[in-house]
Structure 1
Amino acid sequence: MNALHFIWFEFIFCAALIGSAGYQLSRHGDAISRRTGLSGSWIGLALLATVTSLPELATGITSVTLAQAPNLAVGDALGSCVVNLLILVLVDFFYRKEPIWHRADRGHVLAAAFGVVMLGFVLVGLLIGQTTPSQGKMMAASAAQWGFGLTTPVLLVLYLVAMRTVFKYERENVRQAAQQLSPQPERQTGDPLPTLRHAVTRFTLAAAVVAGAGVWLPFVATDLAQVMAWNKSFVGSLFVALATSLPELAVTLSALRMGALDMAIGSLLGSNLFNVAIIAVDDMFYRPGMLLAEVSPVHAVTAASAITMTGLAMVGLFFKPVGRVLRAISWVSLGMVGMYLLNTYVLYLYGQ
């Protein structure tokens, strides 16, 4: 077995581990939701999103410290946001009852809106970082003095505010639903509902497997990309982002299989919030200067693409379209696919 075949074997093995553990995460996350009374949206946003985003966190910190590859770190974080939104399109395709935008809880708009705001700050930071050389040196000196860029504390505070705000919104929704005294139908998973202790234990074990395989996966993907001689912006924003998003894909499809649609959507939108916060964490670990001033300007295209795709998702959640284009996906999802393809084309042409 040569080196390339061995790397592919590692990649497939990691993906298989993540897929099997992802099903357990969704199953027991759903059990925790039903045992505690917390909404599936909140479980997806807080628990599942954090676990499935650990590969991006590990990749980002390693890229800016050991590898000194800031393009890989920023490309992975922003690229994962775009990939997660593309997974929403896959959910729309596989959910054949009706378009997911018509069925999904409108409360997801709140998490999506915070995502747009945080991505907007990243885009501003990227544009400021790509100014004239003299201004860039001044900002780098300022960043070296403080240890991070100006947008970093803003992103971290916004993430905490977003989680608190969504939690309060979901808690109020649960309270109002309980007051209506109309029992909700039980989701049929094919297995008896486990106890809370059992569900938490199994969820923790599955999370450890996903985290371990997910942290290993980016290194395998990076080795494979280097063998293929792809540029770092393209690798970070597309290939490594696809690899580190495998946990989100596994968890989402498993949740969809169980009928936990809101948990699936909450996991993806929550993962995007965490991914943007990872850029702030990466900046704090990046010692040469301001992270967003040291990367390729092409990442601004990825940030803008993520903002556009999130905006389309918000339109779908509010407007709730019913029809499908060619009986496949809704027009909202079609627009998101078009934006993803445009972003991929630009990265392939102009990535560094």
Structure 2
Amino acid sequence: MMAELPIAIVLLVFACAGGVICVSGVFMTGLADKLADRTGLGEAIVGGVILGAATSLSGTVVSVTAALDGRASLAFSNSVGGIAAQTAFLAFADLMFRRANLEHAAAEVTNIVQGILLVLLLLIPMAALVTPEFTILAIHPASFLIPVIYIAGLFVCRSVQEEPMWRPVKTKETREDTPDDEDEKTASKTTLRLGLEFGGLMAVMGLSGWLIAQSGSALTDRLGISASLVGALLTATVTSLPELVTTLAAVRRGALQLAVGGIIGGNTFDTLFLTAADVSYRDGSLYHAATNQDYFWVVTAALMTTCLLAGLVVRERSGPAGIGFDSLSLLGIYLGAIALQVLAF
């Protein structure tokens, strides 16, 4: 249906769906922060699991829809391209937070553990690529392994939060995760109602993701653009806008652990796109159907996550332009990757 519409209408649908995702993301940040306080789970856990999963919903829909249509490259690159884009967003958040380097102020061991988990999950597709193509009901074994490791990692994160074996050194710039005072309007709402509002916004984002998948596929066919390029730089970036909006909104609210945790947790959740897409892709292993152009973004995402982890451990107070070496590295790697992709295609 989308392929039959004029190109201007397709672009309009794509832009409007992206706008809805952005607006929904703003409201979700506030709700997530309140749910973190109400449930006692903490900003890092809620940001990494609940907010990260919710803001990633539209991207999940894009990957699954593309895979069902037999578009392996679009499904794969949308998944891993979003991880790279979202990690780069932390550099913009660092620019916004002027007191110190964001990774210094948002010291939280849970975020470090989730970052390690993310690197591990990014290595699984690479392992699938270099092993023989083998599937069970047209699903590669790696797709079974990813959710198992993801769930096990969440239990480890929860354990680390409850009984940390080490804590970051506190400085005057360190921002601790403490409950915020609720305004009268929010205080009058039950936790269940806040959760239902959060779920409603998730549904809206899921529908928007479907529209982006359809319009993105149409643009690939009509304009003759590489599916890898569309997935990594177009659909992935647009469906990642909630992470940018929620990260900046969280920094503005002073919820720094929520900001960093939302990005890392969202990225970790995004690896589940690959499992969902492989299950939806009926022509064999998604990992072997993807191209080297798609795996280029796996390497990019892994490099960026490693730099982020270094920043969280080193905790540089400030650097050039008021941001740390890690943020500069994130921007340099991401912009360099985009330049290489554009020049290559």
1:219 aligned residue: 214
Which of the residues 135, 142, 151 maps onto 1:160?
A: 151
Equivalent residue of 2:124, what SS? helix
Code of the residue aligned with 1:52 in structure 2: it is T
1:57 aligned residue: 60
Residue range with higher mean Cα deviation, 229-238 or 78-87: 229-238
Kindly state the Cα deviation for residue 70 of structure 1 after the two structures are TM-superposed.
0.4
Kindly state the Cα deviation for residue 34 of structure 1 after the two structures are TM-superposed.
1.1
1:36 aligned residue: 39
2:98 aligned residue: 96
1:135 aligned residue: none
Is 1:341 paired with 2:344?
no
Would the aligned equivalents of 2:57 and 2:202 in 1 still touch at CA under 8 Å?
A: no
Would the aligned equivalents of 1:30 and 1:260 in 2 still touch at CA under 8 Å?
A: yes
Would the aligned equivalents of 1:49 and 1:270 in 2 still touch at CA under 8 Å?
A: yes
Closer, same or farther: CA 17–103 of 1 in aligned 2, 3 Å: same
Would the aligned equivalents of 2:57 and 2:206 in 1 still touch at CA under 8 Å?
A: yes
Equivalent residue of 1:298, what SS? helix
What's the CA shift string for 1:276-297, capped at 9, x where partnerless? 1221222222222211111211
What's the CA shift string for 1:208-251, capped at 9, x where partnerless? 22232233233233434544432111111111111111222222
In structure 2, C-alpha distance between the alignment counterparts of 1:61 and 1:185, rounded to whole Å: 38
In structure 2, C-alpha distance between the alignment counterparts of 1:323 and 1:226, rounded to whole Å: 46
Please report the RMSD computed on the Cα atoms of aligned residues, expressed in angstroms: 2.3
1:80 aligned residue: 82
What's the CA shift string for 1:291-333, capped at 9, x where partnerless? 11112112222111111110100000000011221x2532211
Would the aligned equivalents of 1:188 and 1:258 in 2 still touch at CA under 8 Å?
A: no
Closer, same or farther: CA 191–268 of 1 in aligned 2, 3 Å: farther
| Counterparts of residues 248-263 of structure 1 (less than 5 Å) | 248-263=243-258
Which of the residues 44, 48, 55 maps onto 1:45?
A: 48
Equivalent residue of 2:14, what SS? helix
Structure 2: segments with no counterpart, 5+ residues: 168-175
Would the aligned equivalents of 1:32 and 1:196 in 2 still touch at CA under 8 Å?
A: yes
Which of the residues 116, 119, 140 maps onto 2:119?
A: 116
What's the CA shift string for 1:322-347, capped at 9, x where partnerless? 1221x253221111111112222332
Equivalent residue of 1:98, what SS? coil
Q: TM-score, normalised by structure 1?
A: 0.85
Equivalent residue of 2:17, what SS? helix
Equivalent residue of 1:221, what SS? helix
In structure 1, C-alpha distance between the alignment counterparts of 2:223 and 2:62, rounded to whole Å: 19
In structure 2, C-alpha distance between the alignment counterparts of 1:17 and 1:45, rounded to whole Å: 22
Would the aligned equivalents of 1:148 and 1:284 in 2 still touch at CA under 8 Å?
A: yes
Q: TM-score, normalised by structure 2?
A: 0.87
Residue range with higher mean Cα deviation, 23-32 or 10-19: 10-19
Would the aligned equivalents of 2:121 and 2:146 in 1 still touch at CA under 8 Å?
A: yes
1:313 aligned residue: 308
1:296 aligned residue: 291
Would the aligned equivalents of 2:18 and 2:239 in 1 still touch at CA under 8 Å?
A: no
Closer, same or farther: CA 77–185 of 1 in aligned 2, 3 Å: closer
Which of the residues 279, 283, 293 maps onto 1:284?
A: 279
What's the CA shift string for 1:52-111, capped at 9, x where partnerless? 111222112221222x11000110001001011011111111112211111113311100
In structure 2, C-alpha distance between the alignment counterparts of 1:76 and 1:170, rounded to whole Å: 31
In structure 2, C-alpha distance between the alignment counterparts of 1:191 and 1:20, rounded to whole Å: 23
Kindly state the Cα deviation for residue 23 of structure 1 after the two structures are TM-superposed.
1.7
Moved over 6 A (4+): 188-191
Would the aligned equivalents of 1:17 and 1:210 in 2 still touch at CA under 8 Å?
A: yes
In structure 2, C-alpha distance between the alignment counterparts of 1:267 and 1:323, rounded to whole Å: 22
Which of the residues 128, 139, 148 maps onto 2:139?
A: 148
In structure 1, C-alpha distance between the alignment counterparts of 2:294 and 2:15, rounded to whole Å: 28
Would the aligned equivalents of 1:79 and 1:237 in 2 still touch at CA under 8 Å?
A: yes
In structure 2, C-alpha distance between the alignment counterparts of 1:216 and 1:226, rounded to whole Å: 16
In structure 2, C-alpha distance between the alignment counterparts of 1:344 and 1:6, rounded to whole Å: 27
In structure 2, C-alpha distance between the alignment counterparts of 1:277 and 1:185, rounded to whole Å: 31
